[in-house]
């Protein structure tokens, strides 16, 4: 069990949630940036349109109005120069092109566009954000404004259009891509391979106690505890930085505790499965609030998907480095892996109130938790 820190470096990287803010804009005295979610966003912190490099970058974006239609994508420029407003150097063009006035530098600080020093040096940059306002790309200005604009537009073009139409019945799960970078996924797999893992059991209540036992007709999996403290802390930091805000937004739940740091392996050679179960059904597991299945090597195996029988037969998966998050009370199963090996990082999340439940129920935990 680990308590997650409330602090994290805010040097924004791909996968991080973009800071929300309220600022004056060309159309609204109090524009709430979080309201623009639901499309790809290009947020350009250019400083002053009077600077030649900034002017050239902005001209490049303004020359592509067809990209910014407000349906698929929108552009927001951030100016720190009052003369940009006074002299109308930049003007709103609807749909798709708007401007924030950041004369107190609050937005620029939040997005890391100010270097330390007296006075601070401005570091112009463009962020490309996904439909959830998570960072897709961080592009510092280069000396080639055309290349800078092209890189941003390529990132926009690479985004799939959001599905339309009537939603079908689906489980109330949260799918969050791009939590762990590929290098970290590989380190976790290598950590498992170097140690081999051990047979993974199930938690069941027997005669008033929660015990771990093996039942290969119900579950076939091997788990490896993440013993490397640096590697463990890297996982905790990214869960806190990138996943906790998404859970807060989706479920109004503040996860402060994380339980279990394992790399799990479902292997086709042994059948690799986990039959339908719930993760908080025992006295010693009642504190668990959300389960996280973070896939480490999607595409290198077949089968091994999540299903939620109470909500139909649909299978759920996510790209490597992404996670599926769901309430621990939901019935779920891991379908058999039919080819290769599936690796996943599988923590549980809970809060301070649930931590009290956990402490009170420790007396019901018999032997080693599996």
For the stretch 94-109, pLDDT in tens is 999 999 999 999 999 9
Q: Show me where the domains of the chain are located.
A: 2-157, 174-366
- pLDDT at residue 262 tops 50: yes
Does the predicted TM-score (pTM) go above 0.75?
A: yes
β partners of residue 140: 125
How many C-beta atoms surround the C-beta of residue 352 within 10 A? 10
For the stretch 53-78, pLDDT in tens is 999 999 999 999 999 999 999 999 99
Q: Residue 205 — pLDDT band, cuts 50, 70, 90?
A: confident
- pLDDT at residue 329 tops 60: yes
- Tell me the average pLDDT of the chain: 92
For the stretch 234-246, pLDDT in tens is 999 999 999 999 9
Q: Which CATH number is correct for 2-157, 3.40.30.10, 3.40.50.1820, 3.30.540.10, 3.20.20.140?
A: 3.40.30.10
Q: Which CATH number is correct for 174-366, 3.30.365.10, 1.10.530.10, 3.40.1380.10, 2.60.120.620?
A: 2.60.120.620
- pLDDT at residue 6 tops 60: no
CA distance 139 to 153: 11
């Amino acid at each position: 069990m680990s308590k997650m820190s409330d602090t994290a470096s805010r040097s924004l990287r791909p996968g991080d949630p973009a800071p929300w803010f309220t600022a004056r804009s060309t159309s609204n005295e109090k524009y709430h940036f979080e309201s623009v979610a639901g499309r790809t966003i290009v947020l350009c912190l250019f400083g002053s349109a009077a600077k030649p490099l900034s002017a050239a970058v902005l001209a490049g974006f303004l020359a592509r109005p067809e990209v910014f239609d407000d349906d698929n994508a929108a552009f927001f420029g951030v100016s720190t120069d009052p003369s940009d407003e006074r002299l109308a150097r930049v003007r709103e063009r609807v749909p798709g092109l708007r401007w924030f006035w950041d004369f107190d530098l609050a937005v620029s600080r939040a997005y890391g566009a100010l270097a330390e020093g007296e006075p601070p040096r401005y570091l112009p940059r463009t962020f490309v954000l996904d439909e959830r306002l998570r960072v897709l790309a961080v592009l510092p200005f280069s000396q080639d404004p055309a290349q800078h604009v092209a890189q941003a537009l390529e990132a926009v073009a690479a985004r799939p259009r959001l599905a339309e139409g009537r939603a079908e019945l689906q489980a109330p799960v949260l799918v969050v891509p791009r939590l762990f970078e590929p290098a970290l996924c590989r380190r976790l797999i290598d950590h498992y391979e170097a140690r081999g893992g051990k047979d993974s059991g199930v938690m069941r209540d027997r005669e008033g106690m929660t015990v771990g036992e093996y039942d290969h007709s119900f579950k076939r999996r091997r788990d490896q505890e993440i013993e490397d403290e640096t590697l463990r802390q890297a996982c905790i930091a990214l869960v806190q930085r990138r996943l906790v805000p998404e859970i807060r937004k989706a479920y109004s739940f503040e996860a402060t505790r994380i339980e279990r740091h394992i790399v799990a392996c479902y292997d086709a050679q042994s059948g690799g499965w986990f039959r339908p179960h719930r993760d908080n059904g025992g006295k010693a597991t009642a504190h668990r609030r959300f389960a996280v299945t973070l896939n480490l090597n999607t595409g290198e195996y077949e089968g091994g998907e999540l299903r939620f029988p109470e909500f139909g037969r649909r299978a759920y998966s996510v790209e490597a480095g992404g996670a599926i998050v769901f309430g621990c009370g939901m019935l779920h199963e891991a379908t058999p892996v039919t080819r290769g090996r599936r690796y996943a990082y599988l923590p549980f999340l809970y809060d301070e109130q649930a931590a009290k439940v956990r402490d009170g129920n420790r007396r019901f935990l018999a032997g080693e938790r599996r």
